Homo-oligomer: A and B are copies of this chain.
Amino acid sequence: MITIKDIAGLAGVSKSTVSRVLTGTGYVNDETREKIEKVIKENSYEPSESARSLPKRITNTIGVVVPEIDNSFYTEVLNGISQVVDQNNFNIIYFNTNNSLAKEEKALQMLKAQRVRGVILAPAVDYSEPEATKKLKLLLEKINAPVVLLDRDIDGISLDKVVYDNFGSAFAATEALIKAGNKTVGIITGDLNLKHARGRYEGYLEAMKQYNIPVIEKYVLHGDFMADTAYSLAWKMYEQRDIPDGIISCNNRTTLGFLRATRERKMKLGREIAFVGIDHIDVLDIIDYKYSHVTRDTVEMGRATMQLLMDRIKNPLKMNTVQIVPYKLVLKGTELRK
């Protein structure tokens, strides 16, 4: 493998001069520069990043940690992130934690070993216990690089954050059903141990309260954000032939489960049952399988997160900012009944 020393030799100059053209700093005669650049080209020399970052004690690598890459939400976010990264000559070192705390800890440790320049973290778990949060804080501190929290907020941790208006999105979904004239409104919740699931549930409750609609216990289906669970819950509800006028579903997967049960039971969306989901599902959009939903611009969310990280890197002393990603209500008719 060819090194800076080789280039220096071939160009008849010292390593420092080569280094100067490499880094673009300091004075170097135009002729010398050209000569050196020529030699670099000819030998397709590429300086080693490890060697470069050692004296600088800094890398150009960004760590990205996501909990579930098989969720299209994170795919889209990752897409947005990599768009911004591309423009800035950074690298992404990427981890999928599979919602496992252990994997997340390992990922953060590796990120520390890599001396990354910054980290984007979409937490694997709900850090609800102060103990766990404290431990995470310690881990993050030791990474010694700015961290931006993505999607899943953690209380009592002061960082730059890009989070969703969970409460508002569920409120809007519920409100849409109520305004469409539905007298009873149910919900398929996420795992209420998770903060964002609770936020959405509370948004639902608040809308019901404001519009004076009673919350009927049997129409509150306690799910866990998984399609299969939502499917069973919805199926059971249909089987009992006791269904609310309308129902909201708390994420893309619960919506899929619900839609499946609804298809199988041959219930007509927007006629026999009104429905508004939280999250869009791209593929269904494409095949024109319409349902009303509240959504967010996920790719933009990724871009914004990365941008926030870049800003923080450039200006380490700036105040923490929390960006609340707005929701968007998209009505396709399924919020109606008949």
Contact = CB atoms under 8 A, between A and B. Distances in A.
Interface stretch (A10-18, A110-118, A206-214): A110-118
A115 B49 contact: yes
A91 B93 contact: yes
B59 A69 contact: no
A82 B66 CA distance: 12
A260 interface: yes
B94 A92 contact: yes
Nearest to A256: B286
Given A113-B46, A286-B260, A103 B79 contact: no
Contacts of A264: 288
A109 interface: yes
Contacts of A113: 46-49
A50 B59 contact: yes
Interface residues on A, range: 35 or more
A251 to B, nearest CB: 13
A59 B113 CA distance: 12
B69 A112 contact: no
A48 B82 contact: no
A96 B82 contact: yes
Contacts of A88: none
Contacts of A54: 48, 50-51, 54
A257 interface: yes
Contact of A142 (B44, B47, B75, B286): B44
A27 interface: no
A286 B70 CA distance: 13
Interface in A93-134: 93-96, 103, 109-110, 112-115
Interface of A: 1, 44, 46-51, 53-54, 57, 59, 61, 69-70, 72, 75-76, 78-79, 82, 86, 91-96, 103, 109-110, 112-115, 138, 142, 144, 227, 256-257, 259-260, 263-264, 281, 283-284, 286-289
Given A79-B96, A256-B287, A264-B288, 10 more contacts: A47-B113, A50-B50, A51-B54, A54-B54, A69-B79, A69-B82, A70-B76, A91-B114, A92-B93, A283-B283
5 contacts: A54-B54, A69-B75, A72-B283, A92-B94, A283-B284
